[in-house]
Amino acid sequence: MAEPGTLENPISIAAALARVAAAKSDAPAVTCEDKTVTWRDLHRRSNRMARGMAANGVKFGDFVTIALPNSIAFIEACYAVWKLGAVPQPVSSRLPLAELNAIVELAKTPIVVSDVPFACERPVVSSQALLAAGKDDSDLPDVVAPSWKAPTSGGSTGRPKLIVSGQPGLVDGLNAQFWRIAKDDTMLMPGPMYHNGPFITAFGGLQIGARLVLMTRFDAETTLRETERHRASWIYLVPTMMGRIWRLPEEVRAKYDVSSLKTVWHLAAPCPAWLKEEWIKWLGAEVIWELYGGTEGLASTTISGSEWLKHRGSVGKVAIGGIMKAFGPDGNELPIGQTGEIYMKRAQGLPASYRYVGASPRVINGDWESIGDIGWFDEDGYLYLADRRTDMILVGGANVYPAEIEAALEEHPLVASSAVIGLPDEDLGNRVHAIIQPRPGLDLEELQRHLGERLVIYKRPRSFELVDENVRDDAGKVRRTALRDERIAKLKAGT
C-alpha cells in the first residue's frame, strides 16, 4: 500500500498564511530587531499591500523585483506578490544601479519595491506607499502563482540571470519537514533574505506557522544574543558565520545560552573540516546539518553531523529527486573515488526544477548540468567536494584548488577571512596568490610556517596581500573571478 500522505492536498501560499493567521492570530510571526508583526497583521498588511501592488499594475504571472533589506516589509512584500499570483524576484537592496537595471530588464517587473528612492528604468515604490495605496485588508480571491520565486544568480558568469523556480506557489507540510522545521519552532535568520538559501528556508517555515527572527546584518555575538533572547530552535548559517562565532572569545561565547537550538543548517560554501568538528563538539552531531546544491534545485545532498563524523569531509548523499555523477574532462562518467566535475540532473519523470531568464544552462550529454564543482563519491555514495571548477588554478601542470588553501589559511587564529586566486606567472602559468584579512598581530613568517605544516610546496601561496575588509560577501561566498580580474587589471596598468 502506498504512503497515505499522497492524498494530502497542497494549498496556495496565501491560503496557508490565512490558515496560520486564523489559528495563531495574536502570536508573533516575524521579529526584526525591536519590531514584531503578529500573524493576523502579517496576513492583513500583506492583503493591503497586494491591493497596493495591483493598483500599481502588478498582475498574475508577473515577476516583481523586491529590493528591500532584511525587514518585516520584505516578508510582507513577498506575501503580497504571491497573493496576486505573481512571482517574487528578490535582489540585494544595495545593488549597483547598472546591475539592478539589467535584472529589472530581464524580469520586466512592473515596479521595483524599495524603501530607498533611486532613479531606475521602472517605477520605484516603497512598502509604505504600497500599503497606503491598498484600499482594504480583506482576503483577496485565492490564486496560485505559477512559480514561487525567481532569485538572481550569485553572478559567477558576470552577467545577471534569473533562476525561475519550477515549483508553483503551493504549500504542503513536506518542505518544512525537509528543513527540520516544525510549526512550534523559532527560526533565526542571520543571512540575507534575497539569497536563495535564506529565502527558501525562512518561507518554508513561515508557511507552516513557524516564527521567524530576522537579523538586519550578521554579527557573531548578536547571533548568540538573539538565539538566547528568542529561544531560537533553528538557525541558518554559512561557514564564514560559523568561523566568526567560533572565534569569539571563549568567555563571550559561553555567556549565552544556546541550548534551545535543535537544528543548525550550514549551506552556500564549503565548511573547513576543523570548524565543522568544533561545532559538532559544541552543539552535538544531531544538531548540525549541511546541504549542498545549487539555486537551480536540480539535485542536492544533505548530511547530519553524525553521518559526517563517519564520512569526514563529505557534503552528504544525494537526496531523493536528483541524480549527481562525477565526469572526466572527456565527458565520461568516472568510477567511485575518482575526482571530476560534478554534473546533476533531475530524477526520471520529475519536472524541470528551474528555468533561466537571461542565460543558458551548461549541459553535457543531453540533460546533465554542472554548477561548476569538482569532487568525488565514496563507495557509500557520499560526495566530497574538492573545489569549484571555474576557480581551479593550474600551477606548472598541477591542479590547485583555492578552497583547500583557504581552509589552511583560515585555520590560523589570526586570519579573519581569506581568498586564494591564481595570478599569471611566466614560468609556471599561474602562481598562487593569497588575499588575507588579518586580525591584529598576524605575522607573515609565522603564517608561512603554519602553511608549511599543512600544504605541499606547490600549493603554498607565492604572494600575500593584506586587506581591511572581509573578502567574502554577506552570504559567505568568495567571488574569486572578480578578485582575480581586479588584480590582473592592476598588473597590466603597472601599479
Partner 1 sequence: MSSLGAPPTEFLSIGRNLARLAAEKPTAPALTVAEHTLTFGELHARSNRMARGLKQQGVKLGDFVTIALPNSLDFIVAEFACWKLGATPQPVSWRLPAHEINAIIALANAPLVIGDSTTLKAERPVVSPDALVALSSDASDLPDAIALSWKAPTSGGSTGRPKLIVAGNPGVVARGASEGALWRYSGSDTVLMTGPLYHNAPFGLSATALHTGAHVVLMVKFDAEETLRLIERHRATWLYLVPTMMSRIWRLPNREQYDVSSLKTIWHMAAPCPPWLKEEWIRWVGGETLLELYGGTEGQTITIIDGNEWLAHKGSVGKPLALGEMKAFSADGKMLGPGETGEIYLRRDPSLPPSYRYVGAEARTLPGGWESLGDIGWFDAEGYLYLADRRTDMILVGGANVYPAEIEAALDEHPLVASSAVIGLPHDELGNQIHAIVQPRPGLDLDDLRQHLAARLVSYKQPRTFELVTENVRDDAGKVRRTALRDERMKK
Binding site for partner 1 (CB under 8 A): 1-12, 15-16, 19, 60-61, 85, 141-144, 146-147, 166-168, 170, 172-180, 286, 302, 304, 306-307, 316-317, 319-321, 349-351, 353
Pick between residue 22 and residue 398 the one whose CB is nearest to partner 1: 22
How many degrees, rounded to 5, is the angle at CA 153 between CA 433 and CA 166? 145
> 207 or 430: whose CB is closer to partner 1?
207
How far apart CA 153 and CA 59 sit, in angstroms, is 24
Least distance in Å: CB of 345 to partner 1? 14
Taking the complex as a whole, how short is the minimal distance between the CB of residue 142 and partner 1, in angstroms? 5
Closer residue to partner 1 in complex, CB, 1/98: 1
CB 151 within 8 A of CB 162: yes
3-state helix vs strand vs coil in the chain, percent to 5: 30, 25, 40
If one counts every other C-beta atom within 10 angstroms of the C-beta of residue 95, the result is 19
Q: How far is the CB of 143 from partner 1 (least distance, A)?
A: 7
Q: Is 423 in contact with 393 (CB distance < 8 Å)?
A: no
Provide the minimum distance between the beta carbon of 73 and partner 1 in the complex, in angstroms, as a whole number: 27
Closer residue to partner 1, CB minimum distance, 1 or 119: 1
d(CA 181, CA 184): 8
CB of 365 to partner 1, least distance (A): 17
Please state, in angstroms and rounded to a whole number, the distance separating the CA atoms of residues 222 and 41: 27
The answer for residues whose C-beta is within 8 angstroms of residue 244's C-beta and 6 or more apart is: 218, 220, 416
Closest CB 346 distance from partner 1, rounded Å: 9
Q: Which residues pair with 394 in a beta bridge?
A: 399
- Nearer residue to partner 1 within complex by CB, 355 or 462: 355
SS3 18: helix
Amino acid identity for residue 213 in this structure: V
Q: Which is nearer to partner 1, 55 or 182 (CB)?
A: 182
Q: What is the DSSP string of 180-212?
A: T--TT-EEEE-S-TTSHHHHHHHHHHHTTT-EE
The H or E element that residue 210 is part of is none
Q: How far is the CB of 140 from partner 1 (least distance, A)?
A: 11
Smallest distance, partner 1 to C-beta of residue 6, A: 5
Q: Is 331 helix (H, G, I), strand (E, B) or coil?
A: coil
**Cβ proximity to partner 1, 378 vs 411, nearer residue:** 378
DSSP lists the bridge partners of residue 468 as none
Quick one: 84 or 275, whose CB is closer to partner 1?
84
**Per-residue b or e along 54-88, where b marks 16 or more CB atoms closer than 10 Å to that residue's CB:** bebebeeebbbbbbbbbbbbbbbbbbbbbbbbbbb
Report whether 301 contacts 383 (CB < 8 A).
yes
Query: Which of 220/235 has CB closer to partner 1?
Result: 235
How far is Cα 151 from Cα 159, in angstroms, rounded to an integer?
Answer: 14
Tell me, what amino acid is at 366?
G
* Residue 330 CB-density burial (10 A; 0-12 exposed, 13-18 middle, 19+ buried): exposed
Query: How far apart are the C-alpha atoms of 131 and 51, rounded to whole Å?
Result: 8
Please state the closest distance from residue 19 (CB atom) to partner 1, in A.
Answer: 7
Q: Between 242 and 298, whose beta carbon lies closer to partner 1? A: 298
Q: With respect to partner 1, which residue has the nearer C-beta, 248 or 350? A: 350
- Cβ at position 294, least distance to partner 1 in Å: 16
Kindly state the smallest distance separating residue 269's Cβ from partner 1, in Å: 21
**CA 97 to CA 341: how far, in whole Å?**
35
CA–CA dist 360, 296 (Å, integer): 12
Judged by CB, which is closer to partner 1: 7, or 98?
Answer: 7
Closest by alpha carbon to 402, among 386, 413, 383?
A: 386
Least distance between partner 1 and beta carbon 61 (Å): 6
